[in-house]
Structure 1
Amino acid sequence: MVVADLHAHSSASDGTETPGRLVASAARAGLDVVALTDHDTTSGWDEAVAASAATGVALVRGVEISCHHRGTSVHLLSYLHDPAAPGLLAETERSRASRLARAELMVERIGADLPLTWDDVLAQVDGDATVGRPHLADALVAKGLVRDRGHAFATVLSTRSPYFVGHHAPDAVEAVRLVRAAGGVPVFAHPRAVLRGRVVGDDVVEELAAAGLAGLEAHHRDHTPEATAALVDLAGALGLLVTGSSDYHGTGKVNRLGEHTTDPGVLEAVEAQGLLDVVRP
């Protein structure tokens, strides 16, 4: 039985472990397969590939794209796509640049009331990682201004906070098309995570499926049992794959590697649809 976790983040975006250490952690957690899906970047892929050979854990190369649909946030996982595909690459680069500008403006606003500087934030960023609110949260923790990331997101960094600033995100339907054009396999991440904010309805999932969506990440800690069951039924009705993942961020979240996994047959179907192969040691 192959144990596969298809959603994990490294320090290339907002995780706390380097890509290599993430793959090593996957080995210690008893995983056979892990997907590296950092936000809007593939910069961790090479290090993770090397770690796959060293640890014996197979690697699914991917990315998580922050999108929207008529003002509602949608997170899209892309697996096994061409990282140099111009359409998708241009969109993710635009998102990364927007995240950076957003972070700088938020720090400026926060700094008017709290002792937080841009240098404090940069001290929490690993290399050329995609800068995001988690790095601001870590800086706030390091300065003793909040208890932990969760406290930061519930207060200073909340979308309802006076310090909050939005960032560019592509339309979800267009993102699905860009992923397919890049040879990737698009899967809707945690589509019923209501505690994170508004979620889209079944009609939007149907629209995404018509555009080329491959699957739904139904098994996720941010879903109630009822939500998971409804997503499994919806996937069946629309002919979509059903995945399960941890959404691991190292110590950045309580999520643990392997707490939800993906059926081996679904993994095979993902690989069959993708341009790239799963990296097997």
Structure 2
Amino acid sequence: MRIDLHAHSTASDGTDTPAELVRNAGAAGLDVVALTDHDTTRGYAEAIAALPEGLTLVTGAELSCRIDGISMHMLAYLFDPEEPALLAERELVRDDRVPRARAMVARLQAAGVPVTWEQVARIAGDGSVGRPHVATALVELGVVATVNDAFTPEWLADGGRAYVPKHETDPFEAIRLVKAAGGVTVFAHPGASKRGRTVPESAIAEMAAAGLDGIEVDHMDHDLETRARLRGLAKELGLLTTGSSDYHGSRKTCVLGEYVTDPEVYGEITRRATGAFPVPGAGGA
């Protein structure tokens, strides 16, 4: 059983539509895929309508959080997407994305980069605009070679010269909100040091005590040493460990199913969740 619990569509910053994402997941031989767009669940209906037979969809979201000045992402699974408090917080984060992206464009222009808001808006389409869309604009202009190359202090990394902060949720509040909505929380790529400062293990321990369910261990941004360290930390704290591709379509080099989650861990996630249930495919359009 092959389970990928972290993938993005055009509802946020992926390049596959939700329908294309689930069809590609089925073609990649996955049995389970989670749709975890940034701070939104707008892709659910389209993904479910196109869900191929043999593939199960886990509904989720990747929540933008910040602790002690460090940006982090919290994966939320199988929560009630209409629960008012969590919905209001997701909308607050999402509504701040446009002014933030406009401000990043302004900083890049001030640095001599001929990027425009119209270019970034075209790339984002109907998705929730974010740094990857600005990064793609830099690739189009030949400023950097890849999206990942834009996430450096020179450009868009936390604290970089074109970086602009946005509203982000306190992770302890995120855990509380997701739990109240019947969901399960997993700290995404906690050891991704190439993206900037990482959250210290002491803070992860505090999150575990507050109800965090797991940490994402097997991920393209974690080397073998980091994975071993995180596995040991998870064991010490009693946390689940997941593996995921963090698929973004053609925007990043990762592929669906590149890293997967143990079926027993997936089973425990579904047992803990009460807000929603995995949707089995019946052969979508």
Q: TM class, shorter-chain normalised?
A: over 0.9
Shift of 1:218: 1.1
Q: Structure 1 residue 22 and structure 2 residue 15: aligned?
A: no
User: With structure 1 as the length reference, what TM-score do the two structures score?
Assistant: 0.94
Residues 101-250 of structure 1 aligned to structure 2 (within 5 Å): 101-112=99-110, 113-127=112-126, 129-154=127-152, 155-250=154-249
Shift of 1:111: 2.7
Aligned residues: 278
Tell me, in whole angstroms, the C-alpha distance in 1 between the residues paired with 2:140 and 2:198.
Answer: 32
Tell me, in whole angstroms, the C-alpha distance in 2 between the residues paired with 1:201 and 1:270.
Answer: 24
Q: Structure 1 residue 94 and structure 2 residue 92: aligned?
A: yes
Which amino acid letter does the alignment assign opposite residue 63 of structure 2?
A: I
Q: Answer with 54-63 or 137-146: which moved more.
A: 137-146
Does structure 2 conserve the Cα–Cα contact (< 8 Å) formed by 1:191 and 1:216? yes
Shift of 1:55: 4.5
Does structure 1 conserve the Cα–Cα contact (< 8 Å) formed by 2:101 and 2:131? yes
Tell me, in whole angstroms, the C-alpha distance in 1 between the residues paired with 2:157 and 2:266.
Answer: 35
Does structure 2 conserve the Cα–Cα contact (< 8 Å) formed by 1:7 and 1:36? yes
Does structure 2 conserve the Cα–Cα contact (< 8 Å) formed by 1:33 and 1:60? yes
Tell me, in whole angstroms, the C-alpha distance in 2 between the residues paired with 1:208 and 1:216.
Answer: 11
Shift of 1:160: 4.3
User: With structure 2 as the length reference, what TM-score do the two structures score?
Assistant: 0.93
Q: Answer with 163-172 or 31-40: which moved more.
A: 163-172
Tell me, in whole angstroms, the C-alpha distance in 1 between the residues paired with 2:228 and 2:155.
Answer: 34
Which residue number corresponds to residue 262 of structure 1?
261
Q: Structure 1 residue 38 and structure 2 residue 37: aligned?
A: yes
Residues 33-72 of structure 1 aligned to structure 2 (within 5 Å): 33-52=32-51, 54-72=52-70
Structure 1: where are the runs of 5+ without partners? none
RMSD after superposition: 1.5
Q: Deviations over 1:33-61 (max 9, x none)?
A: 00000000000011111121x35311000
Secondary structure of 1:226's partner? helix
Secondary structure of 2:40's partner? coil
Secondary structure of 1:15's partner? coil
Which residue number corresponds to residue 83 of structure 1?
81
Does structure 1 conserve the Cα–Cα contact (< 8 Å) formed by 2:71 and 2:158? no
Q: 1:162 to 1:200 in 2, by over 3 A?
A: closer
Which amino acid letter does the alignment assign opposite residue 256 of structure 2?
A: L
Shift of 1:73: 1.7
Which amino acid letter does the alignment assign opposite residue 178 of structure 1?
A: L
Shift of 1:147: 2.8
Which amino acid letter does the alignment assign opposite residue 189 of structure 1?
A: A
